[in-house]
């Protein structure tokens, strides 16, 4: 293995694995059925420090490195992918953005409750007509004295309903494209802020995905995150980090599907022997293991670059692109190995297959990742 994990990273991984397999895995299928938000589990995760992993200790967080974070997130995803996406958005998009762009007062007010899980965070960027192209968003923020009035809506907001705080982007100047987008920290009880429809999704069903509606929503000017016009950059920076998280979720779900497929292949008899004896299946198992390992290495290399303070935009998109496509192949193969049983709810592989489907879509589709990767390559002025 290219990466030698430190004792501390291995300890965090082992601790989260034990917790997740004991506390999350046994109830994941039931949550998928009922769509119950994992509030009690998130509380326990906060006690383990999993909701403030990157937050500095002076603000109540763990100050953990990104490698520890992705190892932890993969373990949560292995046991419950719906819980993992809540953890991912909360840590890497919300907490990190406030830590990076927030004023001292904002950090003091929000980071500790976020780390303690007293508030779960969400991020509102996507709109009904602005998904891959967030610069086309229509939500506006108009300043009047020390208040901004937000008008518009957001779509597909992870944890839109169950969050206590949402970072929302809106146009403060409509004449300058993406440079006129600003970001705001909205508390749920701000007047004029309501949660709209919940999506009825194919997978990740215990994680709510909602519309957010702003009707002259009053936001104190002190809740502007960064300066006016910083919103697009803030979102891109947050997504770089978030995309390593999607790679981690992909690796976790793929590993769960793979382990289930190997277990099934070793127990199922056909033609008088275990199906694991057939070369057709053995080659599938070898390919799946190789793909998971490749995705893991990309995930770790992006995380290591981030930890070293290097520009990791390209690596994060590569990790997201490869890992999210990998998990779709691996869960499909794992289901195939289960035969007809894989198509039923008797085995968890059917849920893994459904949960994985959105990984090539959210936080930037595979097509957008290819745009980011090629942009990074072609703008590089160093000689090839």
Which residues participate in catalysis according to the annotation? 363
Nearest by Cα to 323 from 285, 355, 297: 297
For residues 51 and 284, which CB has a smaller minimum distance to ligand CAA in the complex?
A: 51
Judge residue 343's burial from the number of C-beta atoms within 10 Å of its C-beta, 0-12 exposed, 13-18 middle, 19 or more buried: middle
Please answer whether residues 156 and 126 qualify as being in contact, where contact means their C-beta atoms are separated by less than 8 angstroms.
yes
User: What is d(CA 129, CA 154) in angstroms, rounded to the nearest whole number?
Assistant: 10
Candidates 42-50, 121-129, 161-169, 337-345: pick the segment binding ligand CAA (CB under 6 A): 121-129
37-to-14, 42, 82, 89, 209 alpha-carbon distances in Å? 25, 9, 9, 15, 11
- Binding positions for ligand CAA, 137-166, rule CB under 6 A: 156-158
**Could you say whether residue 374 binds ligand CAA (CB under 6 A)?**
no
Nearest distance in Å: CB 167, ligand CAA: 10
Strands 121-124 and 165-171 turn out to be parallel
Candidates 43-51, 133-141, 272-280, 295-303: pick the segment binding ligand CAA (CB under 6 A): 133-141
- Binding positions for ligand CAA, 230-249, rule CB under 6 A: 232-233, 236-237, 239-240
Q: What are the beta bridge partners of residue 224?
A: 184
161 phi/psi in degrees, rounded to 5? -85, -40
Strands 121-124 and 147-158 turn out to be unpaired
**Could you say whether residue 372 binds ligand CAA (CB under 6 A)?**
yes
Q: Site for ligand CAA (CB under 6 A): which residue of 50, 77, 93, 260?
A: 93
Candidates 29-37, 50-58, 109-117, 122-130: pick the segment binding ligand CAA (CB under 6 A): 122-130
**Could you say whether residue 313 binds ligand CAA (CB under 6 A)?**
yes
User: What is d(CA 380, CA 374) in angstroms, rounded to the nearest whole number?
Assistant: 10
**Could you say whether residue 126 binds ligand CAA (CB under 6 A)?**
yes
For residues 322 and 362, which CB has a smaller minimum distance to ligand CAA in the complex?
A: 362
Q: Site for ligand CAA (CB under 6 A): which residue of 89, 141, 281, 327?
A: 89
Classified as helix, coil or strand, 187 is strand
Judge residue 67's burial from the number of C-beta atoms within 10 Å of its C-beta, 0-12 exposed, 13-18 middle, 19 or more buried: buried
Candidates 43-51, 56-64, 343-351, 360-368: pick the segment binding ligand CAA (CB under 6 A): 360-368
Nearest distance in Å: CB 288, ligand CAA: 27
Site residues, ligand CAA (CB under 6 A): 89, 93, 123, 125-126, 132-135, 156-158, 178-179, 232-233, 236-237, 239-240, 313, 362-364, 368, 371-372, 375
């Amino acid at each position: 293995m290219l990466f030698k994990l430190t004792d501390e990273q291995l300890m965090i991984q082992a601790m989260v694995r034990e917790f997740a397999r004991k506390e999350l895995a046994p109830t994941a299928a039931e949550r998928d059925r009922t769509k119950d938000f994992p509030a009690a589990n998130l509380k326990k995760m906060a006690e383990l420090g999993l909701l403030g992993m990157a937050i500095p200790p002076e603000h109540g967080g763990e100050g953990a490195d990104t490698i520890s974070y992705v190892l932890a997130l993969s373990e949560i995803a292995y046991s419950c992918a719906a819980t993992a996406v809540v953890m991912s958005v909360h840590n890497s998009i919300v907490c990190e953005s406030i830590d990076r762009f927030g004023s001292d007062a904002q950090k003091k007010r929000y980071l500790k409750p976020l780390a303690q899980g007293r508030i779960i965070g969400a991020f509102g960027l996507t709109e009904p007509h602005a998904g891959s192209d967030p610069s086309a968003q229509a939500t506006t923020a108009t300043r009047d004295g020390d208040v901004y009035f937000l008008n518009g809506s957001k779509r597909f907001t992870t944890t839109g309903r169950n969050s206590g705080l949402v970072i929302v982007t809106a146009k403060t100047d409509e004449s300058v494209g993406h440079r006129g987008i600003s970001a705001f920290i909205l508390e749920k009880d701000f007047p004029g802020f309501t949660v709209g429809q919940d999506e009825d999704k194919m997978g990740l069903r215990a994680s709510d995905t909602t519309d957010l509606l702003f009707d002259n929503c009053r936001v104190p000017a002190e809740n502007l995150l960064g300066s006016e016009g910083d919103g697009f950059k803030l979102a891109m920076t947050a997504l770089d980090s978030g995309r390593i998280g999607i790679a981690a979720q992909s690796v976790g779900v793929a590993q769960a599907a793979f382990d289930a497929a190997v277990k099934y292949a070793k127990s199922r008899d056909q033609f008088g022997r275990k199906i694991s004896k057939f070369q057709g299946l053995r080659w599938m198992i070898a390919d799946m293991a190789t793909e998971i390992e490749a995705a893991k290495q990309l995930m770790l290399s992006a995380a290591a670059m981030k930890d070293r303070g290097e520009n990791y935009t390209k690596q994060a998109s590569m990790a997201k692109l490869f890992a999210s496509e990998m998990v779709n192949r691996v869960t499909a193969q794992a289901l195939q190995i289960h035969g007809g049983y894989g198509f039923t709810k008797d085995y968890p592989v059917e849920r893994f297959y459904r949960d994985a489907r959105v990984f090539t879509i959210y936080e930037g589709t595979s097509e957008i990742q290819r745009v980011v990767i090629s942009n990074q390559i072609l703008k590089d002025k160093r000689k090839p």
